[in-house]
Amino acid sequence: MRSIFLMDIKSSDSRWVFPLGLVGIGLLIFIWPIPHTISIRDALLLSLLGVFGYLAYRARPSFVWLRELRLPLSLYLILTLWLFIVALAISHETAWSLGEIRGQWLKGLVALSAGMLVALSVPPGTRPAKLVLMAIFLALLIHILYLDFAALETFIRHGGLPRRIGGLTEGPDRISYLANILIAILLAEILYRLGLGRRSGYLPLGRGLLIGILVLTLFSAYIIQLRNGVIPLVLMGAVFVVLYYRQNPLRMRKPVHVTISMLIVSSIALVAYVGTASDSRWRDFLDTIPVALDTETHKAWLDWDKYPKPVMSNGRQVNQSNYVRIAWFKEGSLLVLEHPLGVGFGREAFEVGLRQKYGEGRGYSHSGILDLAVGTGVPGAVLWLGFLGSLFYAAYRCFAGSGNYHSMLLMFLIADFGSRMFVDSIIRDHMLQQFLFLAGLVAVTMYIERRRGPEQDIARA
What are the pLDDT digits (tens) for 233-274? 889 998 998 888 887 665 556 676 677 778 888 888 777 777
The Cα–Cα gap between 447 and 335 comes to 40
Confidence of residue 280 (pLDDT cuts 50, 70, 90): low
* Other residues' Cβ atoms within 10 Å of the Cβ of residue 297: 7
Q: Residue 3's pLDDT is what?
A: 39
The Cα–Cα gap between 203 and 130 comes to 7
DSSP secondary structure string for all residues of 37-64: -HHHHHHHHHHHHHHHHHHHHHH----H
**Cα dihedral 103, 106, 108, 114 sign:** negative
The Cα–Cα gap between 307 and 22 comes to 52
The residues facing 119 across adjacent strands are none
The Cα–Cα gap between 139 and 141 comes to 6
Alpha-carbon Rg for the chain, nearest whole angstrom, is 23
Confidence of residue 63 (pLDDT cuts 50, 70, 90): confident
Q: Determine the 3-state secondary structure of 365 from DSSP.
A: coil
| Mean predicted confidence (pLDDT) in 92-100 | 96
Contact in structure between 3 and 452 (CB atoms under 8 Å):
yes
The Cα–Cα gap between 457 and 452 comes to 8
Contacts from 128-131 at CB under 8 Å and sequence distance 24+?
Answer: 128/7, 128/9, 128/18, 128/22, 129/202, 129/445, 130/202, 130/203, 130/204, 130/461, 131/22
| Mean predicted confidence (pLDDT) in 221-241 | 85
Contact in structure between 225 and 281 (CB atoms under 8 Å):
no
The residues facing 317 across adjacent strands are 311
| Mean predicted confidence (pLDDT) in 94-115 | 96
User: Does residue 456 surpass a pLDDT of 60?
Assistant: no
The Cα–Cα gap between 118 and 132 comes to 9
Nearest-10 Cα torsion for 10, 13, 16, 18: -70
Higher pLDDT, 87 or 248: 87
Return the closest-CA partner of residue 119 out of 62, 76, 70, 181. 62
Confidence of residue 8 (pLDDT cuts 50, 70, 90): very low
Q: What is the DSSP letter of 250?
A: G
Average pLDDT value for the chain: 86
User: Does residue 5 surpass a pLDDT of 50?
Assistant: no
Return the closest-CA partner of residue 343 out of 139, 121, 83, 159. 83
The Cα–Cα gap between 130 and 419 comes to 28
The Cα–Cα gap between 240 and 231 comes to 14
User: Does residue 278 surpass a pLDDT of 90?
Assistant: no
| Mean predicted confidence (pLDDT) in 98-107 | 96
Is residue 159 left, alpha or beta, with left meaning phi > 0 and alpha meaning psi from -120 to 50? left
Q: Residue 39's pLDDT is what?
A: 94
The Cα–Cα gap between 408 and 422 comes to 22
User: Does residue 7 surpass a pLDDT of 50?
Assistant: no
Q: Residue 265's pLDDT is what?
A: 81
Q: H helices within 86-206, ranges in order?
A: 94-100, 106-121, 127-158, 172-194
The residues facing 311 across adjacent strands are 317
Distance (Å) of CA 176 to CA 134, 199, 218, 370: 20, 31, 10, 21
Contact in structure between 424 and 173 (CB atoms under 8 Å):
yes
Residue type, 19: P
Higher pLDDT, 403 or 304: 304
Give phi and psi for 294, each to the nearest 5: -85, 70
Residue type, 327: A
| Mean predicted confidence (pLDDT) in 295-324 | 88
Q: Residue 62's pLDDT is what?
A: 75
